[in-house]
Chains A and B, each alone.
Chain A
Amino acid sequence: MSRLSSLWRNLVQRERVEHDLDDEMRATLDLLVAEKVDAGLSPADARRAARLELGGVESVKEQVRDARRGALVNAVVQDLRYASRLLWRNPLFTLTAALSLSIGIGATTSIFTVANGVLLRAAACVTDPDTLVDLVRRDPKQGPGVELMSFPDLLDIRQRATLLDDAYGYQLQLAPASLLFDDSSTAVFACVVTANYFRALGVPAAAGRVFDAGDVEQAGASPVAVLSHDLWLRRFAGDAGVVGHTVRINNVPMTVVGVAASTFRGTSVVAPDVWLPVSMVAALSPDGGGQELTNRRIPWLMLGARLKPGVSRAQASAQLAGIGAAIQRDTPVNPFIPQDAPAGVHEIDPSSLVWSAEVASPIPYGLRIIAAGFLGLLMALVGIVLVIACTNLAGVLLARATGRRREIAVRTAVGAGRGRLVRQLLTETALLFALGGAAGLVLARAMTRLLFLLLPEFPVPVNLSAPLDGRVVAFALVLSFIAAVLAGLAPALHVSKSDVVTALKDDAQGPSDRHRLRNAFVVAQVAFSILLVVVAGLLVRAFDNVISVNQGFDPRDVDVASLDLTMGGYTDATGRDVVRRLRDRVRSIPGVEHASVADRAPGPAGRSFGNITVPGAVAQKGSPSAFTTWTLVEPDYFRTAGIPLLAGRDFSDADGPGAELVVIVGQRTAKRLWPDRDPIGQLVSVRPPRSGDPDIAALHSTDASARAREAQLRVVGVVGDLNFGNQSGSGPLVIYVPYQQKYLAQATILVRRTTGVGSLVQELRSAVASVDRNLPVLTTESLERQNNGPVQTQLRIAAAVAGSVGVIGLFLAGIGIYGVTAYAVTRRTREIGIRLSLGAGRGEVIRLVLRQGMGLVAIGSAIGLLLGLGAGALLSGRRFGIPQADPVVLVGAALLFAVVGLIACYVPVRRAAAIRAMEALRYE
């Protein structure tokens, strides 16, 4: 019989095989007996001697089975069958265990899903994402930031990087634009990409075509556009006939050549509505100077490429570093790279830049560390709840295994090896965890969606795809497996050590170290739960601090509407007038107390149009010029925003284009530049960006002659500073300049409502429409809701997640305490009966039980609080403003757990109090 066919027989025809074996053994036994009888023994003696000689029929059979091919598989299958029967017969246990596991595994997997989608893989709907790389250039010494490259850089890479194919580029910051079709205009977000973008990513068209080699990359050529699937459904009702039609984007006619595939939403975190080729970049920034395709000093593209087959990312990265160094040497430029730090713009030394190829993902390389840190925090939080669930299960499994002592002893007596026993117990645990893991995977999809709901509304459409790919499934499986081993190993090992003889006897006490282990589990659960609650409490406090800090203005009762005037075709010359008209129009809306227009609403972000110099003052780092962030405002802005005017006056309608240039400074600026003088009436010089450098980051400059001159502004007022989580005393220096004297296409209308008036966003929209029908409003909302900086968003999500898992952890810990206390009562029933009959009062019994349960809570709480202090120390190091140790949180957590412990002990205590002495003594 060949090996394969015997394997087949052993696995598939088990009944037949067993039957044969049985027959064989029986025949052997009979022959032995016959032998003995022939030798002269009596039949009874012969039987006994034969059995002895055979050595135990079952034992021999077992050894044959183990020697067979497929023995391992058979054993595992048998274990699984037995385990599933066991789980089926105890539905309550199975359900609660599977549920708590699936929550733990589901939550962890959902965080990993987000991390995977955002950090570890390229965007959705690209072919072969693992061979895509992002090409970045950064200064290793600088902190997190975004690294953009210029178009000539891309051309160089295409030419010189032999290890990369299909180098492409896309714009990271989406440009708001107006799309005019059929006489109605829509606000859209446009993304400029190179002609090979779609082809390099392998994204197909849902209708028409995507950009291809025919779309020349020269300024002004190929006026074509590709729509996003979302926009196509939303605005064009999914009509395939739109392909070939002409639309006007920012008043530039373009032909729609196709629609992108439905699952493709771009390669960054923000999802564009329409893609334009690089030849059309001028349409989105008409004042930009038109040098985007030729000037190496304008970085505006994120670059990516595909690795050639067989090339590793490290190899490509090394080649790219060499190319970058060569380019930097031959044509040194000083790129104007904005960094994320609050102090603003840095001048970069070009020789310190390193070019490299990194894993492609929607988040720019320089910012990944921030995202990773945040997701890591979330992962740690949900990981703790998984640990708690596992500990819970371990304790329960230990209890059950203890209850099956006798069964295990019998099996040991019959001949099962310790390894076999441990394997069987582990199989039960593994099956349970497989169930929990599978359910967790399903739950993860729902939980991921929930996580996204926690995100605030962004003013731009966000592309956060979290696909369920192989990596995520593998993660869930591995996690379940590790959890199963950790949770099941201790009980399995422990119980398989049981001494056969004592186990077979009736045993009411049982060895105490088993109970100590179970108690240890409960203590661990309580400790971790308290840790979670403490961390949740700290996060909530931090969140409270951040949003309640006096930010320097009054966000209540203010509505804002943001516009982009290029969408209406306005330029520097015509825009100022419409701004003034808008302001006058919204002032007349009933219910408006104050109204104004600014370039943006009060917020942590800032933009600058130049440094200011005060004669005789030392501003920053030894240089006489100070970096300042500018806000362009119409008169009445400060009253509308609730910013206090501390000295001098507000702007008036007289501060117009022809009048003297004026400026209002923030208090910090005033103190820094004029520490011992009254700033009102002083002159400041404004140094524009270095000549020859075009304005970057959507700055629209004034006319060329003004750009060359240094301007002089007179200080007319001082206002209070804004504070967005900065340490007191630090923060950017701010100045305010009249809108009529320095124009910008971005504008935000602010209106302060009279007390008692409801939201005016609708009226704002109609007011804008009444001034210009074709000027679309980008976003409208109340100022309070708009305050969603990255710090707040992260804190809010972290606090919500921590709070939810804290509740789950609390619940699980409560169950654990209940379980162990109830068990203790059962175990010590006889002892309680004895005490009662010896004269102990009920109160003493209650105290006895309580001491058991609450003792564990106390120890667990102490450990957990210590862990919480440690966690607080760890978290407070980052710049979230998380307090290191908040006494309210610590005391609150301890009290909370005391209450939970008491509730958990309630039922067992009642049972103990109801014990009657006689019954207890009769109980075995």
Chain B
Amino acid sequence: MARHSATLLQGTLDLLILKALSTGELHGLGVSRRIEQMTDGTFVVQPGSLFPALHRLEEAGRLSSSWDASENNRRAKYYALTRAGRRQLGQETTEWNRISLAIARALEA
């Protein structure tokens, strides 16, 4: 599978992050792996793009963070969706679906 990383638009990356965290809290690396898994390896997000996005979303109030022990007992930062984040996820999903439907129709015609 091709590896697209920096070509992801910021908005799309945000959507994927929110989706990745919709099932539970994860640390940064976990989010990256989750996205890779969800998209079947199509999107591998580089840390240089992921972590700034995570921090940005946290500062905007979409994510909350907490410190916990990681798999190998290191102090790691875990992210979780806030209520606002969940709301945004729903909105953006609807929006995305609408857009992709419209584009698909346009390409068919």
Contact B27 A55 (CB under 8 A): no
Chain B residues with CB under 8 Å of A34's CB are 71-72
Chain B residues with CB under 8 Å of A25's CB are 51
Q: Taking the complex as formed, is A509 at the interface, i.e. its CB lies under 8 A from any CB of chain B?
A: no
Contact B55 A3 (CB under 8 A): no
Per-position contact with B for A911-922: 1 when CB-CB < 8 Å, else 0? 000000000000
Q: Taking the complex as formed, is B76 at the interface, i.e. its CB lies under 8 A from any CB of chain A?
A: yes
Q: Taking the complex as formed, is B77 at the interface, i.e. its CB lies under 8 A from any CB of chain A?
A: yes
Tell which of A23, A30, A54, A55 touches B72, judged by Cβ atoms closer than 8 Å. A30
Tell which of A28, A35, A63, A67 touches B28, judged by Cβ atoms closer than 8 Å. A28
Q: A24-B28, A34-B72, A67-B53 are in contact. Are A6 and B46 (CB under 8 A)?
A: no
Give the distance in Å from the alpha carbon of A59 to the alpha carbon of B51 in the complex: 11
Nearest Cβ on chain B to A374's Cβ, whole angstroms? 58
Contact B74 A30 (CB under 8 A): yes
Contact A31 B29 (CB under 8 A): yes
Count residues of A near B (Cβ-Cβ below 8 Å). 27
Contact B75 A3 (CB under 8 A): no
Contact B55 A68 (CB under 8 A): yes
Q: Taking the complex as formed, is B56 at the interface, i.e. its CB lies under 8 A from any CB of chain A?
A: yes
Give the distance in Å from the alpha carbon of A869 to the alpha carbon of B46 in the complex: 65
Contact B52 A20 (CB under 8 A): no
Tell which of A3, A20, A54 touches B59, judged by Cβ atoms closer than 8 Å. A3
Give the distance in Å from the alpha carbon of A2 to the alpha carbon of B29 in the complex: 24
Q: Taking the complex as formed, is A66 at the interface, i.e. its CB lies under 8 A from any CB of chain B?
A: yes
Q: A3-B60, A31-B76 are in contact. Are A63 and B51 (CB under 8 A)?
A: yes
Q: Taking the complex as formed, is B37 at the interface, i.e. its CB lies under 8 A from any CB of chain A?
A: no
Chain A residues with CB under 8 Å of B74's CB are 26-27, 30-31
**Most chain B beta-carbon contacts within 10 A, residue among A6, A31, A34, A68:** A31
Q: Taking the complex as formed, is B93 at the interface, i.e. its CB lies under 8 A from any CB of chain A?
A: no
Nearest Cβ on chain B to A49's Cβ, whole angstroms? 14
Give the distance in Å from the alpha carbon of A60 to the alpha carbon of B67 in the complex: 20
Q: A24-B76, A27-B75 are in contact. Are A64 and B59 (CB under 8 A)?
A: no
Contact B52 A27 (CB under 8 A): no
Q: Taking the complex as formed, is A654 at the interface, i.e. its CB lies under 8 A from any CB of chain B?
A: no
Q: Taking the complex as formed, is B48 at the interface, i.e. its CB lies under 8 A from any CB of chain A?
A: yes
Q: A2-B61, A24-B76, A60-B48 are in contact. Are A67 and B56 (CB under 8 A)?
A: yes
Chain B residues with CB under 8 Å of A24's CB are 28, 51, 76-77
Within 8 A of A (CB), among B43-72: 46-49, 51-53, 55-56, 58-61, 64, 67, 70-72
Chain B residues with CB under 8 Å of A30's CB are 70, 72, 74
Per-position contact with B for A9-30: 1 when CB-CB < 8 Å, else 0? 0000000000010011111101
Chain B residues with CB under 8 Å of A53's CB are 47
Q: A3-B61, A24-B28, A28-B27 are in contact. Are A63 and B48 (CB under 8 A)?
A: yes
Q: Taking the complex as formed, is A549 at the interface, i.e. its CB lies under 8 A from any CB of chain B?
A: no
Q: Taking the complex as formed, is A647 at the interface, i.e. its CB lies under 8 A from any CB of chain B?
A: no
Give the distance in Å from the alpha carbon of A604 to the alpha carbon of B37 in the complex: 98
Shortest Cβ distance from B52 into A: residue: A67
List 30 A–B pairs whose Cβ atoms lie within 8 Å, in order of A's numbering: A1-B58, A2-B61, A20-B77, A24-B51, A24-B77, A25-B51, A27-B70, A27-B76, A28-B29, A28-B76, A30-B70, A31-B27, A31-B70, A31-B71, A31-B72, A31-B74, A31-B76, A32-B29, A53-B47, A55-B47, A55-B48, A59-B48, A60-B47, A63-B51, A64-B52, A66-B52, A67-B52, A67-B53, A68-B56, A69-B59
> Known pairs A27-B74, A28-B76. 16 more at Cβ < 8 A?
A1-B59, A3-B60, A23-B75, A24-B51, A24-B76, A27-B75, A27-B77, A28-B47, A30-B70, A31-B71, A59-B48, A63-B48, A63-B49, A63-B51, A64-B52, A68-B56
Shortest beta-carbon contacts, A-B, top 4: A67-B52, A27-B76, A6-B59, A24-B77
